Chains A and B, each alone.
Chain A
Amino acid sequence: MPRDEAGILSEIKRDFILRRLKEGKRGDGRKPDEYREISITPNYVPRSPGSAMVCLGKTKVVAGIKVEAGEPFPDTPNQGVLTTNVELLPMAFPTFEAGPPNDTSIEIARVVDRGIRESKMIDIESLVIEPAKKVWIVFVDIDVIDFDGNLIDACTLGVLAALKSTIVPGSKEGGKDFPLPIRNTPVAVTMVKIGDTLVADPDLEEEQLSSARITVSTTEDGHIRAMQKGDVGEFSMEEIRKAINMSSNLGKAIREKYFK
């Protein structure tokens, strides 16, 4: 991630975090499988069909949904279209620059997109107005307002809350307005490996310290819907199993608390 003055992890903080991890605790006092405080505000942008703001510790993102009628892709004439985009606003962090999306924002957008798409969270088959001619296109836009690590989870939570509050403007196409058809809740949980320890919901300092990252998205039926490994380090089979376990437990807890 960021590598410049704000991105340089100090030796003092590195030592402190490593020393704490040896005792099974984290630099900010959390347990290895503990999330920071989550707050979700659905319908944050009243003028949009669906939106939400999510604070994950100091990380802050706003997700907005736009639903418009348009042409489907030629190979999927009987399906609506879903596109996801993540914008890293320059005000969020000193190293974020304006301009076309970079590797980081593309990766985040794709991991978030995959979790939602592969879990079949949105019933896109029902978003067809006229097969092969007109379907509903769901634009998901995520703006990162403040960055303190773990954007993937924050963005996913934002999109989940926003999609659940989305109303499709059917009246514009001669029908009735209806809520977006939602089937399940795929929660993404990101973990990083620091030394030999796996910690969930890494903050900025832990992300800088980590050697490898893994994101697992699970749904309420316990199925793994998407996985993404990042950074250069490696995971053993044992660690992958542990990550999946951790993810399904944490996902369950988050779903029960915030998406009941």
Chain B
Amino acid sequence: MVKTREIVFPGDIVQAEGTKPRNGTYRNSDGTYSSCYFGTVQVSEQFLDVVPFSGIYMPRRGDKVIGKIIDVGPSMWVIDINSAYNTLLHINDTPWRVNPGDLKRFLGVGDYVYAKIMSVNEIRESWVTLKDVGLRKMEGGHITSIAAPKIPRIIGKGGSMVNMIKDATSTRIVVGQNGLIWIDGAPENVMVAISAIRMVEEEAHTTGLTDRMQKYLEEKKGEIVGNSE
């Protein structure tokens, strides 16, 4: 039996009463389940997951990610999503009327987009779309990155952690599932928000992080300058 936040190694047997092993586990031939990663166990009401301490992002359908344009083709953009695989954005999946060959007017090399992963195939080629609420090209602000497995901690339960950081630092924050985070606001506030995010990343495996974060942001209040712009 394992408990939440217990540290496991790859191959360690993981099971807990009344839960089904889910992410980060594999089934052994005798029907038991083992961990795939070096990480911590998270037991929820129904499921048991293993969250790795580190690792890169693997594209999953439906994830909203932040990506950097690294190449422009005749009818699509190649996007780096902080993963082992690049992803593609076709002109038909954008909200603009783009003529083939005229892509640079809309997105150039070095621009960031907030996009949704539309499909992933067997060889992990993926396609993203900009046709959904909130998806767009990023303008202004700053980008920081953390290890993708720690993204759920940055967001917190129902977005509590990220909302707390947003309110305390009066910044706008967009979190991509792939570990990239976009922050907009006065530069001083952005720096405070980044330091808060770094703290979450370092202490992602501990309990009571929200309370400590509240205290930390309270201490940093002096560095925050008025509203952005």
A residues engaging B (CB < 8 A)?
4-6, 8-16, 19-20, 23, 25, 27, 29
Contact = CB atoms under 8 A, between A and B. Distances in A.
Given A16-B187, A29-B191, A11 B111 contact: yes
Tell me which of B110, B138, B143 has the highest count of chain A C-beta atoms within 10 A of its own C-beta.
Answer: B110
B187 A12 contact: no
A4 B68 CA distance: 12
Given A15-B140, A16-B142, A9 B191 contact: no
B196 to A, nearest CB: 13
A9 B142 CA distance: 12
A8 B70 contact: yes
Nearest to B195: A29
Interface string B127-143: 00000000000101111
Nearest to A10: B110
Given A16-B141, A16-B142, A10 B187 contact: no
A5 B70 contact: yes
B97 to A, nearest CB: 23
B140 A12 contact: yes
A6 B111 CA distance: 13
Given A5-B70, A16-B187, A10 B86 contact: no
Given A5-B86, A20-B187, A23-B187, A12 B112 contact: yes
B58 interface: no
Contacts of A4: 70
Interface in B129-169: 138, 140-143
6 contacts: A5-B68, A5-B70, A5-B80, A8-B109, A8-B110, A16-B141
A201 B70 CA distance: 27
B141 A12 contact: yes
Tell me which of A4, A12, A15, A16 has the highest count of chain B C-beta atoms within 10 A of its own C-beta.
Answer: A12
A8 B68 contact: yes
Contacts of A11: 108, 110-112
A11 B190 CA distance: 17
A214 B111 CA distance: 30
B142 A12 contact: yes
B221 to A, nearest CB: 17
A15 B138 CA distance: 12
Nearest to A27: B142
Nearest to A14: B110
Contacts of A19: 187
B191 A10 contact: no
Given A12-B111, A12-B112, A12-B143, 12 more contacts: A5-B68, A5-B80, A8-B109, A8-B110, A10-B68, A10-B112, A11-B110, A12-B138, A12-B182, A14-B110, A16-B141, A27-B142
B187 A25 contact: yes
Contacts of B143: 10, 12-13
A25 B138 CA distance: 23
A43 B145 CA distance: 33
Contacts of B138: 12
A16 B112 CA distance: 14
Given A5-B80, A5-B86, A25-B187, A10 B140 contact: no
